[in-house]
Amino acid sequence: MTETPPSGHLDRVGYLFGHPIAHSMSPLLHQTVYDGLGLKWSQLPLDSTDMDNFLKLIQDPKFYGASVTMPHKVAILKHLDSLTPEGRDVGACNTLFVRTDPTTNRRLYIGTNTDVVGIRNAFYENVVDADACFHGRPGLVVGGGGAARSAVYTLRTWMKASKIYLVNRDRSEVEAVIKECTARGFGNGLIDVASVAEAQKLEGPGAVVACVPNFPPRTEAENEARAVLECLLRKEHKGAILEMCYHPTPWTEIAEISKNLGWKVILGTEAMIWQGLEQDKYWTGKDIHELPVKKVQEAIAAKLSEAKI
């Protein structure tokens, strides 16, 4: 039985819908925004796989929107009235917002994907000279899941990647990413780099997005993928790497390797913060300069410090 958090004391209510979500900093991020704006709003955690219950909850007139996380990012699509271009192209929804049809006055449930904005802004907010760092250079994505697809979209659509290298332990996952991204219109210039021998012949990347869990490689395929990554990171050009993994710690093995090889490391919490602020733009109707960005950054930094103690 899914427990629905109480919301009677709130003017507006949102949800973080997924499973498991105990480690998520999303409710903290959004509460910091609402408190900073003086809003009696909250994002309530809904740790659940019950889609029917969620669809009932969002009928509440006080509902303003939801963060949608695994395993619902694709399953939610068929229940939406429409998708933004990012949501449609990536094929996954992490954000649900509400609008009113001006003709019928009917409530519309619209999905988007702010993960791609989080990745983009994490780079542009932390890199001083994007032209020198990664514009016009190959991008590199490590991994083969949903975050890898978002990274490909971002590098291709907004970050001027000349081509995109894909590094992963599982060739079938890479094939699936290439096939899906090509079908959605942003799969040009994707290159599966399967071996160190192949990596040695390639131009060095400028922007790297690592989308894999933080554990040391054990199998032959994992060791080869790590060796390919290290080969590409050793190239003469040093750019910036966004390490998307931030739980249980944002400083990962890949982050340490990258720093030691001269790369600028951007923590995954940066992408999380910027995608969350983009969500609040949809929900509150306010622009980024009207949101308490610094307070959010301080709250997340404090939470991370607390976790280290």
Q: In the CATH scheme, what is the code of domain 12-113?
A: 3.40.50.10860
Higher pLDDT: 158 or 304? It is 158
Judge if 12-113 and 117-268 fold alike in CATH terms: yes
Residue 309: per-residue pLDDT: 46
Range 86-95 average pLDDT? 94
Average pLDDT score over residue span 141-148: 92
Predicted local distance difference test score (pLDDT) of residue 181: 94
pLDDT in the model for residue 9: 84
If pLDDT is split at 50, 70 and 90, which confidence band does 5 have? low
Q: At what angle are helices 268-284 and 26-37 packed, to 10 degrees?
A: 50
Q: What is the mean pLDDT of residues 81-94?
A: 94
**pTM reported for the whole predicted model:** 0.94
Is it true that domain 117-268 has CATH number 3.40.50.1220? no
Look at 249 and 195; give whichever has higher pLDDT.
Answer: 195
Interval 204-240: pLDDT, tens: 999 999 999 999 999 999 999 999 999 999 999 999 9
SS3 sequence, the chain?
A: CCCCCCCCCCCEEEEEEECCCCCCCHHHHHHHHHHHHCCCEEEEEEECCCHHHHHHHCCCCCEEEEEECCCCCCHHHHHCCEECHHHHHHCCCCEEEEEECCCCCCEEEEEECCHHHHHHHHHHCCCCCHHHHCCCCCEEEECCCHHHHHHHHHHHHCCCCCCEEEECCCHHHHHHHHHHHHHCCCCCCEEECCCHHHHHCCCCCCEEEECCCCCCCCCHHHHHHHHHHHHHHCCCCCCEEEECCCCCCCCCHHHHHHHHCCCEEEEHHHHHHHHHHHHHHHHHCCCHHHCCHHHHHHHHHHHHHHHHC
Distance from C-alpha of 75 to C-alpha of 190, rounded to nearest angstrom: 27
Give the start-to-end residue ranges of the domains of the chain.
Answer: 12-113, 117-268
82-83: strand order across its sheet: 41-47, 12-18, 63-68, 95-100, 107-112, 82-83
Q: Is the pLDDT of residue 117 over 80?
A: yes
Give the pLDDT of residue 142. Answer: 97
Q: What is the pLDDT of residue 4?
A: 62
